[in-house]
Chains A and B, each alone.
Chain A
Amino acid sequence: MENNQWFTISVYSENNVGLLNRISGIFLKRHINIESLNVSKSEIDNVSKFTIVIYTTDTWVHNIVGQIEKQIEVIKAFYHTDDETIYQESALFKIASDLLFDERQIQNIIKESNAQIVTVARDFFVLAKSGRRFEIDDMYEQLKPFGIMQFVRSGRISVTKDEMQISALLREFQYN
């Protein structure tokens, strides 16, 4: 049996209303959970980029990426293991303001974790932290005893160590 591992799928596509549905349907069909999903613009004008994280086998991710790439509006899809990418997630923590002053420990956590204070209001302050999943999880565990009013973590964003030649591909398709 092949082992499951983490893969980051990067999809370059036209910006189309139905495409997210089409892509998520491919995972649904195979009963695979999307662990994280991020949609943003890419390095090319008018080309969107989906960054999708899944936990599966090499065979499955290969097949899934083939089926994603086959969608008309998809220009190219890639998949990479964690070693092949530089990746991050971001998180926001909302915490009661009095703790910032009363609990020395919190100030240490902020310093050590390289988190930023985004805003301080009368009742609460907001910390932002970017990094690997485990770093954010660590910080969460440390802050938890003090009471976290709200927490949210973003999908993974990543860039690859290798080149992704989308512009060349686009030119090739157009003049084929």
Chain B
Amino acid sequence: METLKERKTITKKNEAIKISGAEAIIHCLLAEGVDLLYGYPGGAIMPVYDELYKFQDRLTHILTRHEQGATHAAQGYARVSEKVGVAMATSGPGATNLVTGLADAQIDSTPMVCITGQVPRHLLGSDAFQETDIIGISTPVTKWNYQITKASEIPEIIAKAFYIAKSGRPGPVLIDITKNAQFDEFEFSYKKCEAVRSYNPTPKPNMELIKAAGKLINEAKKPLIVWGQGVILGKAEKELKALVEKTGIPAAWTIMGASALETEHPLNVGMVGMHGNYGPNILTNECDVLIAIGMRFDDRVTGRLEDYARQAKVIHFEIDPAEINKNVHADIPVLGNSKETLSLLLPLVNSNSHEAWHNVFKEKYQIEFDTVIKKDIHPTKDGLTMGEVIEEINIATEHKAAIVTDVGQHQMIACRYAKFKETKSNITSGGLGTMGFALPAAIGAKMGAMDREVVAVIGDGGYQMTIQELGVIFQHNIPVKIVVLNNDHLGMVRQWQELFFDKRYASTVMVNPDFVKIAEGYHIEAKSVSERKDLKAAVQEMIASDKPYFLEVKVEKEDNVFPMIPSGAAVSEIRLK
């Protein structure tokens, strides 16, 4: 196969090489270290696919069964690795099918570059076949987007796309490339992008504010840390752990922050938010200093804002200036990359243990354990609970798996009960709550971390939104473990109907197919269990397999997830039942 490198050797030194825009795109991807991308071909992107064919020894293209799947797979890949996920699609419907994944990556700050084909420049604006204004459509859901209409723009713009996607607060970038720009030839050269003059990705930390933060932390009697994904994105797991261990401050996490500190760390006091743990939620409204690290005070975390941590002084460590004072006023805003700011803070804080304050968390945990956790994980009733399935997965994987979840009750239960030892182990759609995320994201996660066990935990509803991606798992023999927690309901919506809509169950009963047969149709080994006595062995067998494996667990149809902060309530109004 002829590559640019080889060609360089056959052309005379310094002789400029003219290549097509399409081939240039491949060289740009290779220069950015991309060896894997997800996508779906079509008319307007065919020149690039033609080059992908020629470069298949160096660049693997995975044909997902829907462009949405390509985006979520790219997201899953990015979330477990330190790489940028790449997805490709044709113009028109191919491009519009990317929108959900872009929106998901935007709100969950996932680095992703999407490349779409576009009708030739001379047809732009003419309602040509499969023309859609994907720049207009994707603007609100991208960190940056750009339409290339000349081949010569390709290297600079793609370099910029990768730089923007991964720098500062990461996010998705979409590059739309007209077909003429793919065909036209130009003199190719590539230079990585290292700065954009109007863009300041990582604000410099202000030492005065860090000192003020240190002082406040040292004076605090009842401090609470709440960290988010900013710790993972900033690669600040070690610094977080050092801070927590030195100061003895109880530390809680948002869904997106899960796994940055191991679940069983004695100072890890659990999850905040709507279905988070009782202690950290209720004690948010009792702490005297709230130390928020790389989190954005989403409404699912804060409940009613007017009654959120009003008694506390707030220190906000954050990379994105737009997040400061957006929802919660920060008494001390500390801008910068979390690794950098926490490192600067660390020598300024005193050693402490906060024992009495910890005991309050323990008491609250006991209450939650007695009323909720015990019957979730060690149920005595007949039907299987989602919680006990997660617990079996914990046991079988020794807390080492990356858990990819979809959206709904199973997601909340998985986030509550999954135990993590390693960072980047909780891959879920947090901000957008995208049903259909998990199956393709698990494909990406496995391909991004082949040495790790990847278990997808999915609801019977969301599974059917991207179920066709079983085709990818089968075709490429990707050994993901798929667990569908089947309650024959859109469980989370059913729960809200039960609690807040007088049990009017509008369109939440699912009439489901035979999931085992479907998996078997894709030649994936499959099993279904509905009784407790079979559960452990089934989970063990699944984990022991080195192939893709599908396990349906028929769980109780009408279980609810508790604790719960009803929407519009304060964190301190969290309900245990």
Cα-based distance from A59 to B139 in the complex (angstroms) = 24
Q: A18-B145, A72-B164 are in contact. Are A66 and B198 (CB under 8 A)?
A: no
A70–B197 touching, CB < 8 Å: no
- Alpha-carbon separation in the docked complex, A176 to B196 (Å): 10
Of B136, B200, B322, B323, which contacts A176 at CB under 8 A? B200
**CB–CB A67/B200 < 8 A:** no
Are A25 and B143 in contact, CB atoms less than 8 angstroms apart?
no
In the docked arrangement, what's the CA distance between A73 and B146, Å?
11
Cβ distance A167 to chain B, nearest Cβ, rounded Å = 12
Interface of A (DSSP majority class): helix
Task: State whether A75 touches B322 (Cβ < 8 A).
Answer: no
Q: In the complex, what residues of A have CB within 8 A of residue B374's CB?
A: none
What CA separation (Å) do A105 and B341 show in the bound complex? 69
Residue of B136, B144, B324 touching A72 (CB-CB under 8 A): B144
Option from A29, A67, A73 in Cβ contact (under 8 Å) with B322: A67
Q: Within residues 42 to 73 of chain B, which ones have a CB less than 8 A from any CB in chain A?
A: none
A residues near B199, Cβ cutoff 8 Å: 72-73, 173
Q: Are B197 and A66 in contact (CB under 8 A)?
A: no
The interface bits of chain A over 127-149 (1 if a CB of B lies within 8 angstroms of the residue's CB, else 0) are: 00000000000000000000000
B-facing residues in A148-176 (Cβ within 8 Å):
170, 172-174, 176
B322 touches A69 (CB 8 A): yes
| A14-B198 in contact (CB<8A) | yes
B135 proximal to A (CB < 8 A): yes
Closest chain B residue to A18 by CB distance?
A: B135
Q: Which A residues touch B324, using CB under 8 A?
A: 66
**Count of chain B residues with Cβ under 8 Å from any Cβ of A?**
23
The distance from the CB of A150 to the nearest CB of chain B, in whole angstroms, is 30
Q: Evaluate contact between B146 and A18: CB separation under 8 angstroms.
A: yes
Give the residues in chain B near A170, CB-CB below 8 Å. 197-198
Check if A3 is an interface residue, CB within 8 A of chain B.
no
In Å, the complex CA distance between A70 and B199 comes to 8
Q: Give the distance to chain A from B524, nearest Cβ to Cβ, in Å.
A: 41
Q: How many chain-A residues does the 8 Å CB contact rule pick out?
A: 24
Closest B residue, CB atoms, query A29: B140
The number of inter-chain residue pairs (CB within 8 angstroms) is 58
* A62 contacts the other chain (CB 8 A): yes
Q: Which residues of chain B are within 8 angstroms of A29 by Cβ–Cβ distance?
A: 140
Q: For the complex, what is the distance from the CA of A148 to the CA of B140, rounded to whole Å?
A: 41
Contact B146 A173 (CB under 8 A): no
**Are A74 and B139 within 8 A (Cβ)?**
no
The answer to the question of A51 belonging to the interface, with a C-beta cut-off of 8 Å to chain B, is no
| Given contact pairs A63-B322, A70-B320, A72-B164, A21 touches B139 in the complex (Cβ within 8 A) | yes
Q: How far is the CB of B85 from chain A (nearest CB, A)?
A: 19
CB neighbours of B196 from chain A (8 A):
72, 173
Residues A173 and B321 in contact, CB atoms below 8 Å apart: no
Q: Closest A residue to B143 by CB, please name it.
A: A72
Q: A21 touching B136 by the CB < 8 A rule?
A: yes
B18 at interface by CB-CB < 8 Å: no
Query: Is B140 a contact partner of A70 (Cβ separation < 8 A)?
Result: no
List B147-173 residues whose CB lies under 8 Å from chain A. 147, 164
Partner of A66, one of B135, B146, B164, B322: B322
- The reply to whether A25 and B140 contact each other, CB–CB distance below 8 Å, is yes
Chain B residues contacting A18 (CB-CB under 8 Å) are 135-136, 139, 145-147
Contacts of B191-240 to chain A: CB distance below 8 A: 195-200
Q: Which residue of A28, A63, A173 contacts B197 across the interface (Cβ within 8 Å)?
A: A173
B545 at the binding interface (Cβ < 8 Å): no
Contacts of A172 in B (CB 8 A): 200
Is residue B351 within 8 Å, beta carbon to beta carbon, of the partner chain? no
B-facing mask of A46-85, CB < 8 A → 1, else 0? 0000000000000000110011011011110000000000
5 contacts between A and B (CB under 8 A): A13-B198, A14-B198, A18-B135, A173-B195, A173-B198
Q: List the 4 closest A-B pairs by CB distance, nearest first.
A: A66-B322, A75-B198, A72-B144, A70-B322
| Beyond A63-B326, A66-B324, 9 extra complex contacts between A and B, CB < 8 Å | A18-B146, A21-B136, A66-B323, A66-B326, A70-B322, A72-B144, A72-B198, A73-B199, A75-B198
